[in-house]
Structure formats: C-alpha cells, structure tokens
Amino acid sequence: MIRLLRHGVGQRLRIWSDGDWPTDHVPTRGVAIEWVGQVGHPTSYVLLGGSPSDKSGVTVGDYGPVFEDALAGAADVVRLGLLDEYRGAVDEVLANPTDDARPMTISLAAHGEAGSSIVAFRAGTIFLTTIFERVASLDDAELWARWRAALRQAGAFSTRKAEDAAADVRPESEVTHGDRG
C-alpha cells in the first residue's frame, strides 16, 4: 500500500507498506517513508525504509543512483544512499530510541543534494521507528501529528547535543597551564 499525504503548501509525506516499496527489493514487513517540505529550506527531504529486527542497524551504502520518483521533483537531485553525515544522525537515533520506538534494520535511504539535513534524517528515523508496526492503523491526521512530533524531537536532540558539547568545554579560567613558578 502506498499512502500520499499532503499538508499545507508543498509538504508531502509518502509511506510504503504491505509489500509496496520505492525500489525493486522489498524486505519482509518493510515500511518506507519519504517527506518533502518547503522547497529551498535546508531541512526539506528524507527517505528511509526498513524492517523489524532484533537489534537496530543500518545496511545502506553511501551513494547510489538518482531516485527518479522522488517527491522533491525538479527542486532537488535525490540519490539513493546514506551519506556519512546522515548515517551518523540515523545511528544516533537508533542508539538512543524514543520510548515508543521499535528496533529495525534501515535498508533503504535517499538524500537530496540540496534539501536534506541531519535534522531531517533524525526526524525520519524517529518517525519510521515509531510508526512502522502500526502504520495501517494510523489515520492521516495521526501520521501528520507523529511527523511533527518527530521533527520537534529531532530539533530537541540537536539542542541537547549542542548543550552537551558546550558543557564539555571548560572556561579559560579553569584551564591549567602548568606550574609557571
């Protein structure tokens, strides 16, 4: 089943499940999500897909062919694959799952050359891991609500990471320079 949801001006969310898949290889019980937001915004595209597993992980190569059927259309060139900068974001979320996330293997990804971002891939991972076992039972309004929640969580994740990094930096007055006597 393929569901295409529209929200506001330009936002679209496509979900593949029940044997449908964006590429030829369909994993057992696979679910894939694709989101496109505001054209020109740096956080405006993500595609991720996977299937349930005992332990979360990623099996996607880094760079592949152009994904011709991307929702981004002519606004961006979308390639299959998961670049290292986005893989780190996906790995981070899988290693620190939300309360309602389920373990899965991410086996499909695509990124826009202009419109993808770390936040988009964090949000996509949060969203996918929390909806994939119940996608058929969620209506369009609930799916949009969960997507918006995933975007907020992804942004909060970024803020926490920045705060943690700032906490690791000691003020100059605390830096020791050895015995100068």
Q: Where are the alpha helices (DSSP H) in 9-139?
A: 84-95, 118-131
Collapsed DSSP state (helix, strand, coil) of residue 108: strand
With respect to residue 28, please indicate whether it lies within any of the assigned structural domains: yes
Structural domain contains residue 178: no
| pLDDT at res. 161 | 53
pLDDT digits (tens, 9 = 90+) for 11-60: 899 999 999 999 988 899 999 999 998 666 556 899 999 999 999 999 99
Contacts of 78 (CB under 8 A, 6+ apart): 45, 47, 66, 67, 70, 72, 110, 111, 112, 113
Q: Which domain holds residue 20?
A: 2-165
Q: Is residue 174 part of a domain?
A: no
Phi, psi of 5, deg, nearest 5:
-110, 140
Instruction: Examine residue 67 and state whether it is found in any structural domain, yes or no.
Output: yes
Task: Give a yes or no: residue 173 inside a domain.
Answer: no
pTM value is 0.84
Write down the number of H helices and E strands in the chain.
Answer: 3, 7
In this structure, is residue 170 part of a structural domain?
Answer: no
- Judged against a pLDDT cut of 70, whether residue 172 lies above it is answered with no
Average pLDDT of the segment spanning 152-162? 72
How many angstroms separate the CA atoms of 35 and 69, rounded?
13
Q: Is residue 68 part of a domain?
A: yes
175 inside domain? no
Count of the separate structural domains present in the chain = 1
